[in-house]
């Protein structure tokens, strides 16, 4: 693609994605997008076929969280509309996923024909995606198509949100029209506001007796993990994370207190955060999950809160102060506090596995915590396993992926596919409930096909256990699957059934040693078992279902 | 619910559905809809739990096609948005499915909080469903809620389309406000136009030498199958059906010619339809599938076409003539033609199974045709199996269900669940490709759980075979599943692998005899095998992908 030959619209889209770090595109082919697939097969971007479109979208989401951008390519109607939930999740969770949808050709659409996969006026699909993306474009005019592509991808990057790009079948090979490249406006801080905010925050920090940092998901989305470490080590501050921000701070770091989530937190984390005389909230979103369904007790009088584009100290605001600038400048302004961080405590000896002891979630999570290796990415589904996993301490930054705010069941297995493709040097540890696994777990077939070797731990309590704590009924029971035998259907995959600790220990050792195929451990949990955090949460949810909320 | 106690909004919704023939509601519970589930558990409407929400919607679609209305209940966001594709399909295919979505309570929404499952302004979900339903209401005002429910259900019935009813969690038990019941306006024909149109059509029929009826899907949706039989037997006319209208006319009837679909038709059907000097098109939609991707050669000069609300004869229109009135009045006006229908030919003896003969689609379909029993419903997925199934002759009316126009892969297994729940006296024969089965086939788990005994025939060619004929590439290959071993995971289910005719015959006999659990026959097809209709279609699609269309 030179000035003389600008290339086609499809080529340009693929080139821009590749330059943006997207080396793999997930998806299921279909006739309106086949031309694009044919083009992709000739270039460096690799197609990763999934069994369904929603799982392709979850995979692209996992990929985006590891690489800064992910993409999927699907056909019109039946393909794209299958991704609506997963893309809404990427929007809610701030993950920059590019949805490429084929469509009937421009010439084909002209007479408004009744053609297959059609469900209404052709524009309806774009209108649906406009509600779950930060930009939605249809490349039906070659003269402006290059510009549309650039702006859509820039929007995805800037807002950390999904975008929608529809490419009619007859436009894939249409020559584009080169235009001046847009220089995207880089957001910047108001220098005076920044200086004043930093000075005030540093002053407050200097006088505080028990300051604590609460780290949120925006730090991850803006790539500020290192900046956070810089600030924390400079000022010697303890750090808690929100549930959606989990793993934004290295969890084996001596400064780490654990996850703060209101009444669901550990006693220690809750006490230190809520009693702190200066809580420095960085990139925290105040949603119901992160606040333990609004059970957080945080006093604005003692809070300095930096969001993406403003700093709030007590009851006054500094607009146009960027999170990145604030964290960096504050690190330069603060003085180190008294003591250095203590050396991490050596792990205590432990009696796992105890003979004849049935598995419980609490002991399962502690065992997994000890098994975590630096090359692992933990990908966690929704429900019990998410609440329990708050206590896992992952090693490096960015190693815990979950749909912790949007809480869509079925996220983990396909998102782990994307994460592993994005970071082939890492191995996924997938935590997933039985209900969620029944939704998307067969995507493990693709892990197996690609020679990936995730370890899947199924929290099997034969139903929607979180809901049982809110309102129980037969509707919360589900079919009893022998998950560990799925390898019979689409192996290679090694499966294990673990009703007790001895069986689990043996399965886990084998799984850790087996790097040639997926391993699945079906942990049969006793009825009524749950994480403590979940029991606390359920009490609060109950009152809401009853209409008391 | 008396005048003194009008009952709650949730009670009223359930009562209206039950009165409308909805005795089962499909779905997955979630916290925003749990109150509704709790209420349902106390009444006569039964909940049928599925593994996912999209399959619940397909099941409700299958149920609606058998019962006149179907319903599902899901939670906000993660639940409802997972059904968008299936509901768009129900819209495209004219199936009256009621989507009941929970939502955060009205009081909970008031302060616009960031709560889980949220992806944007709360109204966005309704705005998405407005594009794929014929009515979308939010029951957030008890004073008008009863009226909203009535009108939404009336719209579903009148337009044969899905509707969306959102019920905030705190409104389920809110007392409603009784209002005068709406008397829905019954559409009626313009009597003079009707009389004139019928007279002209009867006159043309009287002079025609080779008249043929082409029967379409609208006859099914409006319940006019018996009326069609009346007309055909009165006038002694031969009948072809469109692919989407397949089975609207009893296919073992001596008058039946087979499916007409342009260049994809059998020679006989194509000749008789295209050479007819008077083609009477009843309830036919002229989409790309029904016209064999616009290869139909039909001369408007020789056509009388009755749609839902108008009759077109050659180039002039009679507006406000209802299809039902036209068919009934025409039956009264026409005279019987010469000969009575011939007695159906006795089936020819046949050499199936031939020893050591690999299975092919053509022989598979012929074998299935002979196995069809009057108590079977054929539910067919998309691709090869759909094109091949055009040659199956089902017995009774309404026994062939498919997403033949919207062509969403993954329809068959869950839709068959709905059909069997709706008609427990029938048994489903499910035809499905390997790609489609990987999308939703694990919903067979629910068939097994309910003690249903469908026979599933997997057309296994290890990939998206329809697409291979359009544009081949590695992207059309999929993982090789041992589908017949799925019973290991969620049985009871009997599985068979059938690479050749002997194995298939043995499996089919066992499956026909086994009425206590699902049977699955994995038919391993040789590479390159395809139905003749598909080969013809692929040629036409090819030119479109290449942008020549």
The whole-angstrom distance between B177's CA and the closest CA on chain A is: 19
Residue of chain B nearest A49, judged by CA positions: B475
Average pLDDT, integer, range B170-174: 97
Half-sphere exposure in the Cβ direction for A423 (13 Å, CA): 21
Cβ of B475 within 8 Å of Cβ of A285? The answer is no
Evaluate whether ipTM surpasses 0.85: yes
C-alpha R_g of chain A: 24
Rounded to whole angstroms, what are the CA distances from B389 to A280, B351, B531? 66, 21, 9
Do A517 and A395 lie in one domain? The reply is: yes
pLDDT band at B124 (very low <50, low <70, confident <90, very high): very high
Average pLDDT, integer, range A462-477: 90
| Whether the predicted pLDDT of A543 surpasses 70 | no
| Residue A4 covered by a domain | no
The whole-angstrom distance between B146's CA and the closest CA on chain A is: 19
Of B92, B475, B541, the CB nearest to A31: B541
DSSP A443: G
Of B464, B473, B481, the CB nearest to A38: B473
| Whether the predicted pLDDT of B101 surpasses 70 | yes
Least confident of A450-464, B102-116, B534-548: B534-548
Do B509 and B459 lie in one domain? The reply is: yes
- C-alpha span between B504 and B364 (Å, rounded): 9
Q: Is A468 exposed, middle or buried (0-12, 13-18, 19+ CB in 10 A)?
A: middle
| Whether the predicted pLDDT of A393 surpasses 90 | no
Helix (H) or strand (E) holding A455: strand A455-460
Residue of chain A nearest B542, judged by CA positions: A31
- C-alpha span between B291 and B286 (Å, rounded): 6
Binding-site positions of B for Mg(2+) read: 434, 461, 463
| Whether the predicted pLDDT of A213 surpasses 80 | yes
- C-alpha span between B3 and B217 (Å, rounded): 42
Half-sphere exposure in the Cβ direction for A417 (13 Å, CA): 31
Of A170, A442, A489, the CB nearest to B485: A489
- C-alpha span between A275 and B372 (Å, rounded): 74
- pLDDT tens string A504-522: 999 999 999 999 999 999 9
Contact B19, B154 (CB under 8 A): no
Do B226 and B277 lie in one domain? The reply is: yes
- The number of folded domains in chain A is 3
Length of chain B: 549
Backbone angles phi and psi of A114, in degrees to 5: -85, 95
Closest by Cα among B415, B404, B405 to B379 = B415
| Residue B370 covered by a domain | yes
Q: Which two tokens stand for residue B379?
A: 């539910």
Average pLDDT, integer, range B337-355: 81
- C-alpha span between A282 and A230 (Å, rounded): 13
Per-residue confidence (pLDDT) for residue B540, from 0 to 100: 60
Cis peptide before B353 (omega within 30 of 0): yes
Cβ of A287 within 8 Å of Cβ of B115? The answer is yes
| Whether the predicted pLDDT of B93 surpasses 50 | yes
Residue of chain A nearest B49, judged by CA positions: A475
Per-residue confidence (pLDDT) for residue A545, from 0 to 100: 58
DSSP B265: S
- C-alpha span between A141 and A171 (Å, rounded): 8
Do A372 and A437 lie in one domain? The reply is: yes
| Whether the predicted pLDDT of B391 surpasses 70 | yes
CB atoms within 10 A of CB A195: 15
Pairing of strands B455-460, B494-498: unpaired
For B76, the 3-state DSSP assignment is coil
Per-residue confidence (pLDDT) for residue B182, from 0 to 100: 72
Least confident of A300-304, A338-342, B63-67: A338-342
pLDDT band at B534 (very low <50, low <70, confident <90, very high): confident
| Residue A207 covered by a domain | yes
Domain that holds residue A493: 361-542
| Whether the predicted pLDDT of A548 surpasses 50 | no
Beta-bridge mates of residue A305: A281, A312
Do B270 and B386 lie in one domain? The reply is: no
- Chain B partners of A117 at a C-beta cutoff of 8 Å? 406-408
Phi-psi region for residue A124, left (φ > 0), alpha (ψ -120 to 50) or beta? alpha
| Residue A431 covered by a domain | yes
Query: What DSSP letter does each residue of B325-379 carry, written as one string?
Result: HHHHHHHHHPPPPSSPPPPPPPPPP--PSPTTPBP-HHHHHHHHHHH--TTEEEE
Per-residue confidence (pLDDT) for residue A469, from 0 to 100: 82
Closest by Cα among A102, A70, A109 to A86 = A70
**Residue A85 assigned ligand-binding role:** no
| Whether the predicted pLDDT of A546 surpasses 70 | no
- pLDDT tens string B191-223: 999 999 999 999 999 999 999 999 999 999 888
- Chain B partners of A546 at a C-beta cutoff of 8 Å? 35
Least confident of A512-521, B185-194, B492-501: B185-194
Do B246 and B153 lie in one domain? The reply is: no
Cβ of A119 within 8 Å of Cβ of B410? The answer is no
Q: At what angle do helices A142-159 and A9-19 cross, to 10 degrees?
A: 20
| Whether the predicted pLDDT of B18 surpasses 70 | yes
| Whether the predicted pLDDT of B545 surpasses 60 | no
CA pseudo-torsion sign B109, B110, B112, B114: negative
- Chain A partners of B132 at a C-beta cutoff of 8 Å? 81, 119-120, 124
Residue of chain A nearest B480, judged by CA positions: A490
Do A444 and A300 lie in one domain? The reply is: no
| Residue A409 covered by a domain | yes
Rounded to whole angstroms, what are the CA distances from B68 to B134, B158, B293, B419? 16, 11, 30, 11
| Whether the predicted pLDDT of B86 surpasses 80 | yes
- C-alpha span between A380 and A415 (Å, rounded): 9
* Interface probe with A: pick from B438, B487, B495, B543, most Cβ of A within 10 Å: B438
The whole-angstrom distance between B55's CA and the closest CA on chain A is: 10
Per-residue confidence (pLDDT) for residue B109, from 0 to 100: 87
- C-alpha span between B113 and A309 (Å, rounded): 20
Residue at a domain's end among A113, A136, A171? A171
- C-alpha span between B407 and A118 (Å, rounded): 9
- Chain B partners of A129 at a C-beta cutoff of 8 Å? none
Per-residue confidence (pLDDT) for residue A312, from 0 to 100: 95
Do B46 and B120 lie in one domain? The reply is: yes
| Residue A178 covered by a domain | no
- Counting residues of chain B whose pLDDT is more than 90, the rounded percentage is 73
pLDDT band at A252 (very low <50, low <70, confident <90, very high): confident
- Chain B partners of A417 at a C-beta cutoff of 8 Å? none
Residue at a domain's end among B315, B333, B351? B333
**Burial profile A430-467: b = 16 or more Cβ within 10 angstroms, e = fewer:** bbbbbbbbbbbbbbbbbbbbeebbbbbbbbbbbbbbbb
- Chain A partners of B37 at a C-beta cutoff of 8 Å? 471, 473, 475
Mean residue pLDDT of chain A comes to 92
CB atoms within 10 A of CB A44: 9
- C-alpha span between B494 and B454 (Å, rounded): 11
Contact A104, A76 (CB under 8 A): yes
- pLDDT tens string A402-448: 998 999 999 999 999 999 999 999 999 999 999 999 999 999 999 99
Beta strands in B69-159 (DSSP E): 70-74, 97-103, 135-138
- Chain A partners of B49 at a C-beta cutoff of 8 Å? 475, 477-478
Cβ of B124 within 8 Å of Cβ of A116? The answer is no
Helix (H) or strand (E) holding B318: strand B316-319
CB atoms within 10 A of CB B46: 12
CB atoms within 10 A of CB B332: 11
- C-alpha span between A327 and A282 (Å, rounded): 8
Of A118, A470, A475, the CB nearest to B31: A470
Do B466 and B396 lie in one domain? The reply is: yes
Do B429 and B536 lie in one domain? The reply is: yes
Residue at a domain's end among A171, A202, A236? A171
Closest by Cα among A482, A488, A439 to A464 = A439
| Whether the predicted pLDDT of A544 surpasses 60 | no
Cβ of A489 within 8 Å of Cβ of B481? The answer is yes
Per-residue confidence (pLDDT) for residue B35, from 0 to 100: 96
Three-state SS for B400-456 is: EEECCCCCCCCCHHHHHHHHHHHCCCCEEEEEEEHHHHHHHHHHHHHHHHCCCCCEE
Backbone angles phi and psi of B186, in degrees to 5: -85, 125
| Whether the predicted pLDDT of A396 surpasses 70 | no
- Chain B partners of A406 at a C-beta cutoff of 8 Å? 77-78, 116-119
pLDDT band at A263 (very low <50, low <70, confident <90, very high): confident
| Residue A213 covered by a domain | yes
Cis peptide before A353 (omega within 30 of 0): yes
- C-alpha span between B359 and B357 (Å, rounded): 6
| Whether the predicted pLDDT of B337 surpasses 70 | yes
- pLDDT tens string A102-148: 999 999 888 777 788 888 899 999 999 999 999 999 999 999 999 99
Cβ of B547 within 8 Å of Cβ of A490? The answer is no
Per-residue confidence (pLDDT) for residue B549, from 0 to 100: 36
Tokens 């034969």 sit on residue: A462
C-alpha R_g of chain B: 24
Q: Which two tokens stand for residue A198?
A: 């930093």
Do B301 and B388 lie in one domain? The reply is: no
Per-residue confidence (pLDDT) for residue B475, from 0 to 100: 94
Q: Where are the alpha helices (DSSP H) in A117-185?
A: 124-130, 142-159
pLDDT band at B336 (very low <50, low <70, confident <90, very high): confident
Domain CATH for A224: 3.40.50.1220
pLDDT band at A4 (very low <50, low <70, confident <90, very high): low
Length of chain A: 549
For A276, the 3-state DSSP assignment is coil
Closest by Cα among B48, B37, B52, B41 to B422 = B48
Per-residue confidence (pLDDT) for residue B461, from 0 to 100: 92
Average pLDDT, integer, range A268-272: 90
- Chain A partners of B124 at a C-beta cutoff of 8 Å? 131-132
- Between chain A and chain B, the number of residue pairs with CB atoms below 8 A apart is 265
**Residue A528 assigned ligand-binding role:** no
- C-alpha span between B306 and B286 (Å, rounded): 12
Of A34, A115, A482, the CB nearest to B471: A34
For A466, the 3-state DSSP assignment is helix
Cβ of B407 within 8 Å of Cβ of A117? The answer is yes
Residue B207's contacts (CB-CB under 8 Å, 6 or more residues apart) are: none
- C-alpha span between A196 and A316 (Å, rounded): 12
Do B422 and B496 lie in one domain? The reply is: yes
Backbone angles phi and psi of B101, in degrees to 5: -115, 130
Q: What angle do CA A343, A348, A349 make, to 5 degrees?
A: 150
Residue A115's contacts (CB-CB under 8 Å, 6 or more residues apart) are: A104, A108, B287, B288
Residue A515's contacts (CB-CB under 8 Å, 6 or more residues apart) are: A427, A453
Domain CATH for B134: 3.40.50.970
Rounded to whole angstroms, what are the CA distances from A82 to A25, A27, B416, B483? 17, 11, 20, 23
Q: What angle do CA B99, B105, B110 make, to 5 degrees?
A: 125
Q: What angle do CA A497, A499, A502 make, to 5 degrees?
A: 95
Cβ of B49 within 8 Å of Cβ of A478? The answer is yes
Average pLDDT, integer, range B317-337: 93
| Residue B126 covered by a domain | yes
| Whether the predicted pLDDT of B548 surpasses 50 | no
The whole-angstrom distance between B339's CA and the closest CA on chain A is: 38
């Amino acid at each position: 693609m030179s000035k003389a030959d600008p290339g086609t619209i499809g080529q340009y889209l693929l080139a821009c994605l590749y330059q943006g770090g997207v080396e793999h595109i997930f998806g299921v082919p279909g006739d309106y997008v086949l031309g694009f697939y044919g083009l992709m097969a000739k270039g460096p971007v690799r197609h990763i076929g999934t069994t369904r479109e929603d799982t392709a979208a979850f995979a692209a989401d996992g990929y985006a969280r590891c690489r800064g951008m992910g993409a999927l390519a699907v056909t019109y109607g039946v393909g794209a509309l299958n991704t609506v939930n997963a893309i809404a999740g990427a929007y809610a969770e701030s993950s920059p996923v590019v949805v490429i949808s084929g469509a009937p050709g421009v010439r084909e659409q002209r007479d408004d024909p009744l053609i297959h996969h059609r469900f209404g006026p052709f524009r309806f699909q774009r209108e649906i995606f406009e509600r779950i993306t930060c930009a939605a474009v249809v490349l039906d005019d070659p003269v402006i198509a290059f510009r549309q592509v650039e702006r859509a991808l820039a929007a995805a990057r800037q807002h950390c949100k999904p975008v929608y790009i529809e490419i009619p079948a007859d436009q894939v090979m249409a020559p584009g029209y080169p235009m001046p490249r847009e220089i995207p406006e880089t957001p910047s801080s108001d220098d005076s506001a920044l200086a004043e905010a930093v000075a005030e925050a540093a002053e407050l920090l200097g006088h505080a007796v028990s300051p604590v940092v609460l780290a949120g998901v925006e730090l991850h989305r803006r790539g500020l993990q290192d900046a956070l470490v810089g600030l924390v080590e400079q000022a010697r501050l303890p750090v808690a994370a929100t549930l959606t921000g989990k793993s934004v701070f290295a969890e084996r770091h001596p400064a780490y207190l654990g996850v703060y989530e209101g009444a669901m937190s550990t006693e220690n984390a809750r006490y230190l955060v809520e009693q702190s005389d200066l809580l420095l909230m960085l990139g925290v979103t105040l949603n119901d999950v992160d606040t333990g369904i609004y059970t957080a007790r945080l006093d604005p009088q003692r809070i300095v809160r930096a969001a993406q584009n403003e700093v709030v100290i007590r009851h006054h605001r500094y607009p146009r102060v960027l999170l990145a600038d604030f964290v960096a400048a504050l690190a330069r302004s603060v003085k180190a506090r008294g003591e250095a961080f203590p050396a991490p405590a050596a792990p205590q000896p432990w009696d796992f596995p105890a003979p004849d002891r049935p598995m419980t979630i609490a002991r399962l999570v502690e065992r997994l915590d000890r098994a975590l290796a630096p090359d692992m990415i933990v990908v966690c589904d929704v429900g019990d396993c998410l609440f329990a996993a708050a206590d896992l301490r992952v090693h490096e930054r960015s190693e815990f992926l979950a749909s912790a705010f949007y809480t869509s069941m079925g996220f983990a297995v396909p998102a782990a596919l994307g994460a592993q493709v994005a970071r082939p040097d890492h191995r996924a540890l997938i935590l997933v409930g039985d209900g969620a696994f029944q939704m998307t777990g067969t995507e493990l077939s693709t892990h197996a096909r690609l020679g990936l070797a995730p370890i899947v731990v199924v929290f099997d309590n034969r139903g929607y256990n979180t809901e049982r704590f809110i309102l129980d009924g037969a509707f919360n029971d589900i079919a009893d699957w022998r998950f560990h035998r799925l390898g019979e259907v689409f192996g290679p995959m090694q499966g294990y059934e673990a009703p007790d600790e001895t069986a689990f220990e043996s399965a886990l050792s084998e799984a850790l040693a087996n790097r040639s195929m997926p391993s699945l451990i079906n942990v049969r949990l006793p009825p009524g078992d749950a994480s403590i955090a979940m029991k606390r949460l359920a009490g609060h949810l109950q009152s809401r279902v009853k209409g008391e909320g």
